[in-house]
Homo-oligomer: A and B are copies of this chain.
């Protein structure tokens, strides 16, 4: 029956999201001169990803596929596919016959995530990178400084993410980039609780500066060392916040 969907403006959320994210780790991996608009399922996934990242869907929230299906104006099957995408990124967990829930990470998960970060970021920094990539790191540092000057703690957080994303981008590895972007997405899951702590962002700005300087000086070993100590300190801080 065609009249079932008379083009009603049911899905304002979806139509707006036509933004082609130029991020380093876009999931449309087979981009070989192809204009193809992202699939509907993909758009649903990015929308949910966004809502999870900004805290609109706090960890533990149950995502009912039927509710979402008609809230977004898409079929239940499509929502299901979006769930599969998010589940592969560990942003949601699927419990058979019970539903999908926004992932909520425990202390062990925090340690786990930082283990991955230590492996990937340190390795990328050790290998150094082209001047352009290092310039991108510098740009992220400056972005953080500007955000700090403007008192924009929101922008400060994302600048930090850009910084660490730029670090792994040094390796020029497509796979490493996607892994890192997923890890960063996971970190946003428990960043909301940590954001309340004000004295946190101050010192790592200096850390980033130090790391960047070491990189620009060509001393990748020193940069790696500083990064490692930063990661250890950051993990310690996060675990402290989440063991209340």
Residues of A participating in the B interface, judged by any CB pair closer than 8 Å: 29-30, 34, 36, 39, 77, 80-81, 84-85, 88-90, 93-97, 112-113, 115-116, 118-120, 122-124, 171, 173-176, 179, 183
A84 contact set on B, CB distance < 8 A: 81, 84-85, 88
In the complex, how many angstroms separate the beta carbon of A224 from the nearest chain B beta carbon? 11
- In contact, B174 and A112 (Cβ under 8 angstroms): yes
A116 contact set on B, CB distance < 8 A: 173, 175-176, 179
A97 contact set on B, CB distance < 8 A: 36
- In contact, A115 and B176 (Cβ under 8 angstroms): yes
- In contact, A93 and B29 (Cβ under 8 angstroms): yes
Q: Give A45 to B123 CA distance when docked, in angstroms.
A: 32
Q: Which of B81, B119, B122, B183 contacts A80 (CB 8 A)?
A: B81
A174 contact set on B, CB distance < 8 A: 112
Quick one: closest B residue to A118, CB to CB? B123
Q: Which of B36, B94, B113, B115 contacts A96 (CB 8 A)?
A: B36
Q: Can you list 26 residue pairs at the A/B interface with Cβ under 8 Å? A: A29-B90, A29-B93, A30-B93, A30-B94, A34-B96, A36-B96, A80-B81, A81-B81, A81-B84, A84-B84, A84-B85, A85-B88, A88-B88, A88-B89, A112-B176, A115-B173, A115-B175, A115-B176, A116-B175, A116-B176, A119-B119, A119-B124, A119-B171, A120-B120, A120-B123, A122-B123
Quick one: closest B residue to A113, CB to CB? B175
Query: What 9 pairs across the A-B complex have the smallest Cβ distances?
Result: A119-B123, A88-B88, A115-B173, A36-B96, A84-B84, A116-B175, A112-B173, A112-B175, A119-B120
Q: Give A176 to B115 CA distance when docked, in angstroms.
A: 8
Which of A29, A115, A119, A175 is the most central at the interface, judged by chain B CB atoms within 10 Å of its CB?
A119
Quick one: closest B residue to A101, CB to CB? B30
In the complex, how many angstroms separate the beta carbon of A87 from the nearest chain B beta carbon? 9
Quick one: closest B residue to A179, CB to CB? B179
In the complex, how many angstroms separate the beta carbon of A158 from the nearest chain B beta carbon? 23
- In contact, A176 and B88 (Cβ under 8 angstroms): no
A112 contact set on B, CB distance < 8 A: 173-176
Q: Give A174 to B108 CA distance when docked, in angstroms.
A: 10
Q: Give A96 to B38 CA distance when docked, in angstroms.
A: 9
